[in-house]
Structure 1
Amino acid sequence: MSRMILGDKSSQEPIVSCFGEVLWDYFPSGKRLGGAPLNVCLRLKSLGVNAEILSAVGADVLGSELLEDIRERGLDNGFVLVSASKKTSTVEVSLDKGGSATYEIAVDTAWDNIELSPKLIERVASSDIFVYGSLVARSEVSLNTLRKLIELSKFNVFDVNLRKPHYSLESLVALMKAADFIKLNDDELFEIAGAMGSKFNSLEQNIEFIANKTATSNICVTKGRHGAVLKVADKYYYNSGYMINVVDTVGAGDSFLGSLIYQLCNTEDTQYAVDFACAVGALVAQNQGATPEISLHDIQAFMNPI
C-alpha cells in the first residue's frame, strides 16, 4: 500500500495481481464486464498500474468475448484460464430507484474452479500486492487455489463482498486473518463483527474489534454516499463523501479500492489517498456500469472544480 504500509519498496512501480471472479453483469440495458476483482484490476490498469486478473472463463462464446474485451482494455488474458467443462459466469443485476444493486449469481461456473497453475504461481510470487475477494471462496476448488497463492504473496489485500448465500463466517475470518489489509463496507463490518461476537455499536469500535481478532491493523470501511474511513495502524483518516446523482452503484466500491491502492503506492499523503479513492467511487456511481472510463483530469476536476 503506501510506503509506510508496504515497507519493502524494492520495486519503484508495484506489481498487483487480482484473483477471483470474472463475469458478465446482465443489466436491463444489456451485458457489461463485471466481477469485483476484475473491476479493481481494470481501475488499477486505467491508472497506469501493472495489474493483471487471475481467473477462469468457459470455452464458450461468452468466455471468448470476455477474454477479448479485457485484452482490449490492456490486460493480459493469459492469466485467465479456459475451462473445458464449466461455463463463463453471468449475473442478473437488478437496480432499485436509488441505483443500489441486487445480484443473482450463477453457481458452479469457470471461476469457481480455478486450478493452481505454474503461471499463476509465478505471477503472484513476483507481485508486490495480491488482491482477493470473498465470493471466490464459495467453491472449494478456487478456495484451495487461493490459500496456496496467499502463502506465496508479499502483501495481501482482502476485498470483502458479501453476497448471500455465497459465504460463511469461517472462510471470512480465515481470509481476514491472512490479510495485511481489509476493505469492506459499513454493513459488512457490522454483520461480520456481530457474527464474531462484537457487542460494540460504533464504527470505530467494530473496526478495532476486527483488527484485534484478525491481527490486521490496516482496515478500510466504505460508507456509500458518506465516504469512507481508513485505519492504518493506530491512525484514522476520514472522508465524508461527495454530492452526486447516483445512476448505479455497481463497481463503485471496486474502483474505490483500486484507486486507494494506486494512491497508497504513489503518495505519502494518506488523507489525499482516501479523498481520491472516494472521488473515483463517486464518479463511478454517477455513471452506468462498473468500470466507466475516468481520467486523472476528470478526477482532479471533480475533487477541485474551478
Structure 2
Amino acid sequence: MFDNMKIPPSIPRHSIACFGEVLWDLLPSGPQPGGAPMNVAYHLHKLNRNPAMISRTGKDERGRKLLDILQNKGVCTDYIQQDDTVPTGIVNAQQHANGDMTYEIVAPAAWDHITADDRTAAMVEQADYFVFGSLACRHPASRETLFQLLEKARTKVLDINLRAPHYDRPLIESLLQKADILKLNIDELELVSGWYPGAVSITARLAHLRERFSIPVIVLTMGANGAMLDINGKTYNHPGYKMKVVDTVGSGDAFLAATLSMMQDNAGPADTLDFANRLAATITTYKGACPDYDIKEADSLKRITHI
C-alpha cells in the first residue's frame, strides 16, 4: 500500500511508535484508561521518550474523555483516529485475591478498525522502535494495517500479550517471525513453547524461540520471581523487587517501556534489567495501569547488584 508513499512534510519525529488498543479498563475500583500499547506509550512519556500512539476511539463520551486524559498526561494523540459508528473499547476487569486480573475484552471496539495512511506510515518509518501486540490482530481491519506498518518499521517490538480467545498459533507464529525484540511473561512462554516439545528449562525454551524465529532479544517477565533478558544467546537474570502489591495492571507494560528506554541509551543488559524491574515494581504499588507517579520512586529502590 505504501510503495509509492509520499512522505508528508513536517512529520514530527517520535522515537517510539506504539500500535493497538486504547480503551477503558472497568476495574473494581473504577474505570481507568488502558490497553497494553497505550500503557507502554504512557510510561515511555514518563521516561521522556516522546512516543506516539496509533489507535482508534469512538466519537463518544468515553472516547473524548480518553483523549483528554491522554493529552493531559502528555501522550501524543495525533495518530489516534476517531470512528463515527464503532464505540470506544472497554474491558471488564476482575481482580483476584493475589492481585492478578482477568479480563473480558468487549467487542465491537473502535481499536479493531485502525486504518493506514501515509502520514502514519511516515512516522513509523522514522521511529527507532515499533511496539505491537497480538490483541490488535483479532479483527481483520487492524490486523491488515499492522502488517502494512510492520513493513515500514525499523526495530519491531512484539509485546505478545496473549488474551484468549483472540489468538491462534498461525497468527502468533506470523508475529514472531517479524519480531526483533520479543517481550512475554512466564505463562505466555509456557503456552507458546508448548507448541514445540523438547525444551524443558526456561533458558532452553527461550533459546528455541530465538533460534526458530531469529529473534535477537527476548525479554521474559516472571512476576514476583523477577525477569530474564536473552540477548543473542546470552542470558541475564534478575530476582525482582518485593513490594506490597495493590494490583499488577500495567506493570509489564512499564517493564517494557523501561527496557526500551534503557536500550535507547545503550545501557548494559544488567542495568537495563534492573531498572525495568524497579519501575515495574513501583507500578504494582498503584491502582490502574497509568497512575500518576514520580520516576524518582523507582530510582529510590535500592539497586540489586547481583544479576
1:250 equivalenced with 2:249 (yes/no): yes
Q: Does structure 2 retain, via aligned residues, the 8 Å contact 1:184–1:221? A: yes
1:240 paired residue number: 239
2:31 paired residue number: 31
1:278 paired residue number: 277
2:206 paired residue number: 207
Other structure's SS at 1:192 match: helix
Q: Does structure 1 retain, via aligned residues, the 8 Å contact 2:44–2:258? A: yes
> Once the 2 structures are TM-superposed, how far is the Cα of residue 52 of structure 1 from its aligned partner?
1.0
1:174 equivalenced with 2:167 (yes/no): no
Other structure's SS at 1:124 match: helix
2:43 paired residue number: 43
Q: Supply the AA of the counterpart residue of 1:225.
A: A
Give the gaps of 5 or more residues in structure 1: 1-12
Q: Distance between the aligned counterparts of 1:38 and 1:14, measured in 2? A: 15
Q: Supply the AA of the counterpart residue of 1:290.
A: A
Give the gaps of 5 or more residues in structure 2: 1-12
Q: Distance between the aligned counterparts of 1:55 and 1:238, measured in 2? A: 34
1:86 paired residue number: 86
> Once the 2 structures are TM-superposed, how far is the Cα of residue 28 of structure 1 from its aligned partner?
1.7
> Once the 2 structures are TM-superposed, how far is the Cα of residue 236 of structure 1 from its aligned partner?
1.1
Q: Distance between the aligned counterparts of 1:74 and 1:134, measured in 2? A: 26
1:221 equivalenced with 2:217 (yes/no): no
Q: Distance between the aligned counterparts of 1:267 and 1:246, measured in 2? A: 31
Q: Distance between the aligned counterparts of 1:253 and 1:303, measured in 2? A: 20
Q: Distance between the aligned counterparts of 2:205 and 2:80, measured in 1? A: 36
Q: Distance between the aligned counterparts of 2:221 and 2:279, measured in 1? A: 13
Q: Distance between the aligned counterparts of 2:293 and 2:172, measured in 1? A: 32
Q: Does structure 2 retain, via aligned residues, the 8 Å contact 1:225–1:242? A: yes
Q: Supply the AA of the counterpart residue of 1:206.
A: R
Q: Does structure 2 retain, via aligned residues, the 8 Å contact 1:14–1:265? A: no
Q: Supply the AA of the counterpart residue of 1:245.
A: K
Other structure's SS at 1:303 match: coil
Q: Does structure 2 retain, via aligned residues, the 8 Å contact 1:198–1:206? A: no
Q: Distance between the aligned counterparts of 2:212 and 2:110, measured in 1? A: 33
> % of aligned pairs identical?
33
> Once the 2 structures are TM-superposed, how far is the Cα of residue 199 of structure 1 from its aligned partner?
2.1
1:259 paired residue number: 258
Q: Distance between the aligned counterparts of 2:294 and 2:62, measured in 1? A: 28
Q: Does structure 2 retain, via aligned residues, the 8 Å contact 1:112–1:142? A: yes
- Residues 214-240 of structure 1, C-alpha deviations (whole Å, 9 max, x = no match): 111211110001110001112111111
- Calculate the TM-score normalised by the size of structure 2: 0.92
Q: Distance between the aligned counterparts of 2:51 and 2:238, measured in 1? A: 26
Q: Supply the AA of the counterpart residue of 1:99.
A: G
1:147 paired residue number: 147
1:109 paired residue number: 109
- Residues 103-137 of structure 1, C-alpha deviations (whole Å, 9 max, x = no match): 01112311001011222112101111100011101
Other structure's SS at 1:237 match: strand
**More helix per residue:** 1
Q: Supply the AA of the counterpart residue of 2:209.
A: I
Q: Does structure 1 retain, via aligned residues, the 8 Å contact 2:150–2:156? A: yes
Q: Supply the AA of the counterpart residue of 2:244.
A: N
> Once the 2 structures are TM-superposed, how far is the Cα of residue 14 of structure 1 from its aligned partner?
7.0
- Calculate the TM-score normalised by the size of structure 1: 0.93
Q: Distance between the aligned counterparts of 1:14 and 1:90, measured in 2? A: 27
Q: Does structure 2 retain, via aligned residues, the 8 Å contact 1:198–1:209? A: no
1:100 equivalenced with 2:100 (yes/no): yes
Segment of structure 1 superposing worse, 146-155 or 280-289: 280-289
2:76 paired residue number: 76
Q: Distance between the aligned counterparts of 2:267 and 2:166, measured in 1? A: 37
> Once the 2 structures are TM-superposed, how far is the Cα of residue 304 of structure 1 from its aligned partner?
4.4
2:10 paired residue number: none
Q: Supply the AA of the counterpart residue of 2:130.
A: F
> Once the 2 structures are TM-superposed, how far is the Cα of residue 198 of structure 1 from its aligned partner?
2.6
Q: Does structure 2 retain, via aligned residues, the 8 Å contact 1:186–1:222? A: yes
- Residues 41-74 of structure 1, C-alpha deviations (whole Å, 9 max, x = no match): 0000001001011000001110011111111111
RMSD over equivalenced CA pairs, Å: 1.4
- Residues 156-212 of structure 1, C-alpha deviations (whole Å, 9 max, x = no match): 0000111111111111111111010000001101101112x2322211010011111
1:124 paired residue number: 124
Q: Supply the AA of the counterpart residue of 1:130.
A: F
